Structure 1
């Protein structure tokens, strides 16, 4: 498959099903997950998986790209239609909760030796998050002295802690509440 050639509708559907199934399988089973299980869960032949993703690394990288895009899309939706006073905090919660899905994939990519390039998606994510931060600051619901790099570091550390520490949902919610409280104006 050439990257520039548009996919037929059925191939796009298969690719989407493979990615959704792979995200579930890798999240559930980690490195022990097999492409055969991904194919079975997606309802496609193993050859279809390899036609779209010749290696496990290619599949993991595609999952990561899809996950990043979901983060960007959620930020854009909140910026476009959310209450500026709460959209930033809704996004902080969404990011940390999403870490449960991203964490295992990032870990597997690291095990496979795949670098996670900062690239355009990370820049878009930072831009979208920055827009939510600024909107919250203009609305007076986020500390005026909070900088984007600081906020991103707090959220990344919280998300990483939740994944690495195997935090319960309750612990994750309480920790996120403390982080959000620290970002509110005094």
Structure 2
């Protein structure tokens, strides 16, 4: 029997749990208790378990949601008139919107054997299209390919996560990266 669509209140609760989980996992890692995620979401633990039977299932769903949202944002940026601005704005969105977390760095990584590998590939494809458009518009160096860009981004995300970089350091490091990508 196919899955029935969730009732509106159940869908809202699921979205609140996912948002709280993303925030909690980003701040505390996967060790955060499910009861704490339920508290942050404003729901009971039973609601969390109804939607996500294990913490691993919740983590995976949170990552899938994050990557889907990032991919949607990248695809939307592809419709922008100014390809260079769209590319750099999207990169800024990745950094500001949670890109400085190790879980997103893992999702961006090459050949991951996990549930979001296909989604990560879709995200990389959209980023590659943004890069190509920006290069064709003369806004980004032509000698940077998608593989180099993804390596640079992943390195940035991991470095600022490991070092617990403050926002000023993150901004300066990101500025160095974007300056290096720009066509002079």
Q: Does the pair score TM above 0.5?
A: yes
Does 1 or 2 have the higher relative contact order (CA < 8 Å, sep 6+)?
Answer: 1
Q: Secondary structure at the match of 1:185?
A: coil
Q: Are 1:76 and 2:75 counterparts?
A: yes
2:143 partner SS: coil
Deviation string, structure 1 residues 62-120 (Cα, Å, up to 9, x no partner):
111111112111111211235212111122222233223x426878xxxxxx9545532
Could you tell me how far apart the structure 2 residues matched to 1:82 and 1:76 are?
A: 13
How far the C-alpha of 1:38 sits from its partner, in A, is 1.4
- In structure 2, C-alpha distance between the alignment counterparts of 1:159 and 1:82, rounded to whole Å: 28
Q: Which residue does the alignment assign to 1:20? A: 19
Q: 1:175 aligns with which of 169, 173, 176?
A: 173
Q: CA deviation at 1:184?
A: 1.5
Whether 2:119 is the aligned partner of 1:121: answer: yes
Structure 1 spans left out of the alignment, 5+ residues = 108-113
3-state SS of the aligned residue for 1:85?
helix
- 1:137 aligned partner: 135
Deviates more, 1:121-130 or 1:30-39: 30-39
Query: 1:176, CA displacement in angstroms?
Result: 1.0
| Equivalences, count | 178
Deviation digits for residues 32-85 of structure 1 (CA, Å, limit 9, x no counterpart): 421112112222221111010000100111111111112111111211235212
Q: Residues of 2 paired with 1:87 and 1:123: CA distance?
A: 20
Using structure 2 for the length normalisation, give the TM-score: 0.86
Runs of at least 5 residues in structure 2 that lack an aligned partner in the other structure: 107-111
* Structure 1 SS opposite 2:29: helix
CA contact under 8 A between 2:74 and 2:130: conserved in structure 1?
Answer: yes
CA RMSD in angstroms, aligned pairs only: 2.3
TM-score (norm 1): 0.85
